[in-house]
Amino acid sequence: MWQKQLTKDSIIYGLGSVLARSIGIVTIPIYTRAFSPEIYGKLEFLITLGAFFTPIMTMGTDSAFSYYFYNFKKNLLQDRITVFSTVLLWRIIWGTIILLSFFYIITYFNNYFLPNQINIKILYILAFSSYLTILVNLFTNLQRMLFKPKSYITYTFTLTFLSSIISIILVLYFNMSFRGIIFGNTIALFLVLIVLVLLNFKFISIRKLKIKFLLKVVKFSFPFLPEALMWYLFSFADRWFILKILGEKDLGIYALGAKIGLLLILATQAFRLSWTPFAMKKLKVSIKGRIFSEMSRYYLGFTSILALTLTFFSKLLLFFLTTEKFYESYIIIGPMAIQTILSSFNLIIGVGILKKEKTYLFPICLFFGVLSNIIFNYYLIPIYGILGAATASVFAYVIWNISIFVISTKIWPIEFPKLRIILIFITLCAGVMLLTLLLHHETSYMFLSLVLLFFTLLLIFETLTKDEITKIILFLKNV
């Protein structure tokens, strides 16, 4: 059954994500003790700024690659080689154009758009790091499309491990401060890319390149370019407003809380990585989309339980992982967990747009999310500080998902369990708000445990049908 295959891949990806993210968790105590919140905020700003180049250079070819890998000609090995080689060639060409263009305008960009002028060499490294990232991502995504989760997690873990080790050495022993992290990541990307090219060289073939198909890939991907620009604003708006209105210290505290809140990505990323190739195959044969309907409640329900659990442990995590300077970031961990859930939910509810190949609709949906994100951040941050920024992001993600849901279901009318989805999301938000409020008033963990148990049981009953609950009870009795 499809559930077994998806569950198996999700577990493997989940374990890989845990390994990779655990390294990131280990670095939190190191960096929060080596950096002040102000320095941590500056690092966050640079990382976010560097992230600007990655979606621009990718230009939606990740979606084209995922779609055509199993939907090009006869779906033979030589056809897949054509798809991979074509996308790789385009990323090299397009990425180089963007990189050279940035080098040309870097001085103007630094003087007029950045709050504090940054060393141009750091900006060069950031741009080059993004160029390496899009190439590495293509090779690692190849492993996903080949249903080789073990290879995927091996490459991603190696990259994370190398990046962390090199960065720590540069920060602690060469006194490079936040610059050490930027250089360390770039060096690791370069080394891993060399290995990936050598191990996957059989998928690179100039003779398999098809100009007509290249133009088709560009046409399919180009609508994602404005979406990439908007996606950057979607991700970057909260950081920008915090930096402008509150300053680098609050940005550092916010960044740390966001990082803890994004621990939920261990689950959502595992689902995302295993779901994408699986969904692309099912799109071709599915008529009524029942699989997508069922997955919508499974995904939202069980990740909501994880989000509530993370909120419950937020203060304890900060106590063990950070210093007192960062403790107040617990208030945004719950909202950031909700944001993490919604960031992958669109993969399920937006399948109609992909099935009908109307990808130009994605930027339209994202536009509503970006606009609302900017508006909410503008009004909420001056009043509620970093909590306002986290709340604004949740509102924006909700509006974005609703836009995708409405448009996608009109194109391909799947019968999603709308009432269950609404009830689950309301329960999630209510649980996060209540737990955060109780933590703020330093309520005993015994009472907090009862609250968590109540919302967990409520989510289970909202997620599963009566038949599914009955089967689970019978299974447990027989164990």
Q: In this structure, are residues 251 and 45 in contact, taking their beta carbons and an 8 Å threshold? A: yes
Nearest to 154 by CA among 8, 54, 13: 13
The pTM of this model reads 0.80
Q: What is the total residue count of the chain?
A: 479
For 340-395, what is each residue's pLDDT tens digit?
999 889 888 888 887 777 877 888 888 999 999 999 999 999 999 999 999 999 99
Instruction: Specify the residue for token string 């990585």.
Output: 273
Nearest to 392 by CA among 250, 274, 241: 241
* CA 251 from centroid of its chain's CA atoms: 20
Please list, in sequence order, all residues whose beta carbon lies within 8 angstroms of the beta carbon of residue 384, skipping any fewer than 6 positions away: 391
Letter string b/e over residues 129-151, b meaning 16 or more CB atoms within 10 A of that residue's CB: bbbbbbbbbbbbbbbbbeeebeb
Determine the pLDDT at residue 251: 92
For 81-139, what is each residue's pLDDT tens digit?
888 999 999 999 999 998 888 877 776 666 665 555 567 788 889 889 999 999 999 99
Please list, in sequence order, all residues whose beta carbon lies within 8 angstroms of the beta carbon of residue 62, skipping any fewer than 6 positions away: 137, 138, 141
Q: Is the dihedral of CA 261, 264, 266, 270 positive or negative?
A: negative
With 0-12 / 13-18 / 19 or more C-beta atoms within 10 angstroms meaning exposed / middle / buried, residue 324 is exposed
How far apart CA 28 and CA 33 sit, in angstroms, is 8
How far apart CA 474 and CA 407 sit, in angstroms, is 40
With 0-12 / 13-18 / 19 or more C-beta atoms within 10 angstroms meaning exposed / middle / buried, residue 1 is exposed
3-state SS, residue 56: helix
Determine the pLDDT at residue 115: 53
Please list, in sequence order, all residues whose beta carbon lies within 8 angstroms of the beta carbon of residue 472, skipping any fewer than 6 positions away: 464
Low-confidence ranges of the chain (pLDDT < 70): 1-18, 20-21, 73-75, 107-118, 273, 276-277, 280-288, 479
Nearest to 318 by CA among 332, 334, 329, 306: 329
Rg (the chain; Cα; Å): 22
**Mean pLDDT for the chain?**
86
